[in-house]
Structure 1
């Protein structure tokens, strides 16, 4: 008796291959959605702050065409300037996360600047009370001073320059908050500006004062003013030095020496 082997019918199943999403060239949907969000955010900011908005924006928004959205975005950027969509979003986030917090807790940048201003003020008072900081020691400058008197003089002039740059930065933060142009990256730029301000104050008080004709005019008041001005206008000092370097480079580098590749 022969055993009959059962026949197995294998039904061929159609295996679906994964569909590859076609990449359509052009502006993505995420960018278009971001455009719409920024337009609404700028409109809300303009209405809340009483900023005059170009009425052409209304017709451009209603069509929802990409070209019209870009044109509406450009018009609104001009209307709300110096604020930007990024700064408006940052300011809105600060207001939403306040929850009764003080301005120093919800804005660490302002808190840090105030603490630095207090630090420089204490350093200014303490170093100024020292008998080593006087007209004679400041007249000698860094070249003829040494030891503790030199250190105290540098601390005194650096603290004056620091107060100058913080006076400028605190005013700038206040204006930026009113205009809604503050962004998170400002904290990094302000840190570098404080360092540049201290350096500029030392340059103004120690190097530029060497070129006065009468040595008796270099006193405590003049050097303090030069350090304060150097810290307050560090950007201007940098521009002046950069202009001097460019003039020197133009003497040695002529247009004919450049070769076109």
Structure 2
């Protein structure tokens, strides 16, 4: 009987090629839950900020470039970013967030006073009154005078030292609060006020008290306190509080120079 040869099973020659193609396609597909590009929420936020900046620029009478029209109407991300950059330069120093924050304050209940709408102003006014009361109370003491102030911290002691420090701190506090109230009023006028600035203001108040004391003590120690008056110490404490950030920058610059001198000497 003739022996029938079994039909050979075809060997898939393109298996490796098919596997490589499938692997490449799988690698190009983003994982589940992750989409390419920015999300729809980000696009909506960009367009919302564009509308906010555009309305602000129009209400303030700022010049708006007509080349923005096709960019704003586009749904392309590059066009929207270019429009955002152009409008940000037009409304500077204001930002979309600061504009939105002041818009919320202005749209608040009309029956509320400015102190309830903007608590930072209320807190600064309370601090100003407190520093003023402390300043008047300390100045009424006969232990706060030209001689006691000219002695400084090292040559003075007891209740006289305490009252003089309280007196100088009160003046420094008035200076820094005066600066902050001016800063807040400019922020409202220029639409640059931000809610998180309250934290910065707290640190600046403490820095103003310290800088006022340091500045007044430097003068009291100069020439052993001779030819100094209560007016000089008070003014310097006021200047130290008002320009606390400038004094901090000066001290930081001195420290940076000293560090650079030591770094150069160590490299040599």
Q: TM-score range by the shorter chain?
A: 0.7 to 0.9
Structure 2 vs 1, CA of residues 65 and 123 (structure 1 numbering), >3 Å: closer, same or farther? same
Q: Which residue of 1 aligns with 2:226?
A: 216
The Cα of 1:22 is off from its aligned counterpart by 5.0
Q: Distance in 2 between matches of 1:223 and 1:126?
A: 17
Residue 58 (structure 1) aligned with residue 77 (structure 2): no
Q: TM-score, with normalisation over the residues of structure 2? A: 0.85
2:178 to 167, 181, 184: 167
Q: CA deviation at 1:29?
A: 1.2
Superimposed CA distance per residue, residues 214-251 of structure 1 (whole angstroms, 9 cap, x where no aligned partner)? 73322201100110110111111111111111121122
1:227 corresponding residue in structure 2: 237
Distance 2:190 2:219 in 1: 37
Mapped partners of 1:48, 1:180: distance in 2: 12
Matches of 2:214 and 2:65, distance apart in 1: 48
CA contact (8 A) 2:172 2:209 kept: yes
Cα 1:214–1:143 change in 2 (3 A) is closer
| Closer/same/farther in 2, CA of residues 22 and 154 from structure 1, 3 Å limit | closer
2:245 and 2:122 mapped to 1: Cα distance? 23
- Residue 248 of structure 1 is matched in structure 2 by 258
Matched ranges for 1:137-148 at <5 A: 137-148=148-159
After TM superposition, give the deviation of residue 52 of structure 1 in Å. 2.0
How far has the Cα of 1:28 moved from its partner? Answer: 1.4
Determine helix, strand or coil for the equivalent of 1:217: coil
How many correspondences in the alignment? 238
The aligned counterpart of 1:181 is 192
Cross-structure match for 2:128: 117
Q: Rg bigger for which structure?
A: 2
Counterpart among 210, 215, 219 of residue 199 in structure 1: 210
Deviation at 1:51, TM superposition (A): 2.0
Q: Which of the residues 36, 40, 46 maps onto 1:35?
A: 46
Is 1:97 the counterpart of 2:116 in the alignment? Answer: no
Paired residue for 2:98? 87
**Aligned Cα root-mean-square deviation (Å):** 1.7
